[in-house]
Amino acid sequence: MTDPHGETAEAVLRWAEKTPDAPALWWNGTATTYRELADETAAARARLAEQLPVGATLAVLDAKAPRTVATVLACLASGRPALLPSTTLPRDHLAAVTAEAGCRYALAGEAVTALTPPPGHARKQAVPPGTGFVLTTSGSTGTPKAVPLPHDGVDAFTRWAADAFGITEGTPVLNYAPLNFDLCLLDVWTTLAHGGQVVLVDPAIAASGPRLLGLLRAHRIEVMQAVPLFYALVSAAARPEEGGPLETVRHAVFTGDVMSEQTLADLTALAPRARLHNVYGCTETNDSLVHEVDRDRPPSSPPPLGRPLPGVRIRLRDSEGRIVTDRGELEVSTPFQSTGYPDRRRTAEKFITDPADGPGGGVRWFRTGDLVEADADGVLRLVGRLDHQVKIRGVAVNTAEVEQVLLNHPDVVEAGVTTLPDPVEGRRLVAVVRLERDSTATSLDLKRHCAARLPRGSVPATLVPVREPLPRTGTGKVDRRALAALRPGAPQAPAASVGTGL
């Protein structure tokens, strides 16, 4: 039976006894010791006991800070699942995901408030017993999915990650991602469970390459994990005459998006002693595949997804539903994966239990939606998505959802959304919309329309209003590949232009 409390939180709190004065967290230059973290956790636990029933799921709405880490620890240590939604979720999305998770309570600051399900979103059953974290995805239908992670899966991951990246007592590890990202299972929770130092990046400086580089140098970071945007920002800020290379970094992990060849080459030079890892995984399964970059070979983009982690099983399925070995949708089964969505319908769509698998049967597979191909050595490479979901700054964005929001604007006749390569961000979200002839709407008006209805990462970085029909494929769909060539006032392709749809 799954442990209702798990090992990870207890391991963190034991370090308050072993090394009470050692730094556990760094936040804007100030250290929180393990003793202070344990004291703050105890205080948060007492507050929760007064305001929250035993076993109730709590939506933690506070932004990243040491106090928020203590709140999550208090939840884990007391058997209360911690739902960690993005702090930028629109209100209706937040209401929907809390309802799906059966979450009746939310915390912001010290006040726990009761939640009321929104109209049309009946409260689902609570997450399964033994759940530690409840993370969220962006969702393929426009609203996030709640993803319960069991304590035993989290514990298995922290044991693997500590060994794989050499995280031990005193190891300084950079945390770039928000606390709701599954990346934090490595750089926050694994680090704390093994007595390391977590250097929390304040979101206020997340886009400042010089300040990020300063953190890496000041704290002599040994392990860092982030989306490729982080590495592009840091590499662009590095100057050979100012500080030299990052000699202390032993492991640099990139994940969540495609790493460009230039950024990878820059990182190789900036961290000359580091082992470089491309890690692949979904929120529902956590890390599944890893590829270590060969420094003796020229960098390639995208890097391979690599091979399965210990205990991870993979298989490929073609469009006819047959198991194949060369090219198909990636399905994975990991020791770290979710128990399934609270919504059983969504679970049935993405999780497959094949009783014929393995000597004991009952292996549970997750359909990733990623199309991959295997080379002669069995190394996997990403080909693309089977749907319209893309990743921007490591966050999944559904382009169909963005298109629908744009079409809801009264002046928009047609809309198409795609991505373009970006030297800093990896990919940039681009939208092209055809407006009514008499419309006075500007790109700024349309961005504001999107910002009021979408998460921040789903708002197009570039929005191009046009007056002519959008190019179409032979099947009548918007030709997304042709959208990149469109500019305001430029001649437009005929509406029936032939192309290949995405």
Q: Report the pLDDT value the prediction gives residue 163, as an integer from 0 to 100.
A: 98
DSSP 270-335: HSTT-EEEEEEEETTTEEEEEEE--TTS---SSPP-BEEPTT-EEEEE-TTS-EESSEEEEEEE-T
What are the structure tokens assigned to 237, written together? 């800020």
Average of pLDDT values for 164-170? Answer: 98
3-state secondary structure of 193: helix
Q: Report the pLDDT value the prediction gives residue 138, as an integer from 0 to 100.
A: 59
Q: Report the pLDDT value the prediction gives residue 481, as an integer from 0 to 100.
A: 74
- Is residue 76 within 8 A of residue 8, CB to CB? The reply is yes
User: Both 370 and 409 in a single domain?
Assistant: no
What are the structure tokens assigned to 143, written together? 């609203």
Q: Is the pLDDT of residue 484 over 80?
A: no
User: Both 359 and 430 in a single domain?
Assistant: no
Query: Does some domain include residue 365?
Result: yes
User: Both 401 and 465 in a single domain?
Assistant: yes
User: Both 356 and 408 in a single domain?
Assistant: no
pLDDT band at 485 (very low <50, low <70, confident <90, very high): confident
pLDDT band at 301 (very low <50, low <70, confident <90, very high): low
Q: Over the stretch 438-462, which tens digit does the pLDDT of each residue have?
A: 899 999 999 999 999 998 889 999 9
Q: What percent of the chain has pLDDT over 70?
A: 89
Q: Which of 108-117, 125-134, 205-214 reaches the highest mean pLDDT?
A: 205-214
Phi, psi of 364 (to 5 degrees): -105, 125
Q: Over the stretch 233-272, which tens digit does the pLDDT of each residue have?
A: 899 899 866 788 999 999 999 998 778 777 898 999 999 9
How does DSSP classify residue 175? E
Q: Is the pLDDT of residue 279 over 90?
A: yes
Q: Report the pLDDT value the prediction gives residue 387, as an integer from 0 to 100.
A: 67
Query: Does some domain include residue 333?
Result: yes
- CA-based radius of gyration for the chain: 23
Q: Is the pLDDT of residue 124 over 80?
A: no
d(Cα 37, Cα 13) in Å, to the nearest integer? Answer: 8
What are the structure tokens assigned to 55, written together? 């076993």
Strand partners, 367: 331
N- to C-terminal Cα distance for the chain? 44
User: Both 373 and 415 in a single domain?
Assistant: no
Query: Does some domain include residue 55?
Result: no
Q: Report the pLDDT value the prediction gives residue 356, as an integer from 0 to 100.
A: 60
What are the structure tokens assigned to 172, written together? 């300084």
Segment (H or E) for 251: strand 251-255
Q: Give just the sign of the alpha carbon dihedral 254, 458, 456, 488.
A: positive
d(Cα 261, Cα 298) in Å, to the nearest integer? Answer: 9
Query: Does some domain include residue 16?
Result: no
User: Both 377 and 414 in a single domain?
Assistant: no
Query: Does some domain include residue 209?
Result: no
d(Cα 138, Cα 118) in Å, to the nearest integer? Answer: 19
Q: Report the pLDDT value the prediction gives residue 495, as an integer from 0 to 100.
A: 33
Q: What percent of the chain has pLDDT over 90?
A: 60
User: Both 404 and 471 in a single domain?
Assistant: yes
Q: Over the stretch 399-424, which tens digit does the pLDDT of each residue have?
A: 877 887 898 898 888 888 988 888 77
Tell me the CATH number at 361. 2.30.38.10
Q: Nearest to residue 66, comparing CAs of 157, 150, 148, 175?
A: 175
- Is residue 455 within 8 A of residue 97, CB to CB? The reply is no
Mean of pLDDT over the chain: 87
Q: Report the pLDDT value the prediction gives residue 434, as an integer from 0 to 100.
A: 86
pLDDT band at 231 (very low <50, low <70, confident <90, very high): very high
d(Cα 327, Cα 118) in Å, to the nearest integer? Answer: 42
Query: Does some domain include residue 31?
Result: no
Phi, psi of 134 (to 5 degrees): -120, 105
Query: Does some domain include residue 281?
Result: no
Cis peptide before 85 (omega within 30 of 0): no
- What distance separates the 2 farthest-apart alpha carbons in the chain? 71
> Which has more confidence, 308 or 355?
308
Tell me the CATH number at 441. 3.30.300.30
CB neighbour list of residue 438: distance below 8 Å, 6 or more residues apart = none
d(Cα 218, Cα 212) in Å, to the nearest integer? Answer: 10
d(Cα 211, Cα 202) in Å, to the nearest integer? Answer: 10
Q: Is the pLDDT of residue 34 over 90?
A: yes
Q: Residue 53: exposed, middle, or buried by beta-carbon count in 10 A (0-12, 13-18, 19+)? A: exposed
CB atoms near residue 114 (< 10 Å): 8
Q: Which residues form the domain of 449? A: 389-483
Q: Report the pLDDT value the prediction gives residue 493, as an integer from 0 to 100.
A: 38
Q: Is the pLDDT of residue 473 over 60?
A: no
Please state, in angstroms and as integers, the Cα–Cα distance from residue 180 to each residue in 84, 296, 327, following that order.
5, 36, 32
From 385, 413, 439, give the residue that closes a domain.
385
Q: Is the pLDDT of residue 316 over 80?
A: yes
| Proportion of the chain in helix, strand, coil states, percent, rounded to 5 | 30, 30, 45
Q: Is the pLDDT of residue 75 over 60?
A: yes
d(Cα 146, Cα 83) in Å, to the nearest integer? Answer: 8
Q: Is the pLDDT of residue 112 over 90?
A: yes
User: Both 434 and 380 in a single domain?
Assistant: no
Query: Does some domain include residue 330?
Result: yes
Strand partners, 292: 277
Q: Report the pLDDT value the prediction gives residue 496, as an integer from 0 to 100.
A: 32
* Total tally of structural domains belonging to the chain: 2
d(Cα 77, Cα 4) in Å, to the nearest integer? Answer: 9
Average of pLDDT values for 468-475? Answer: 67
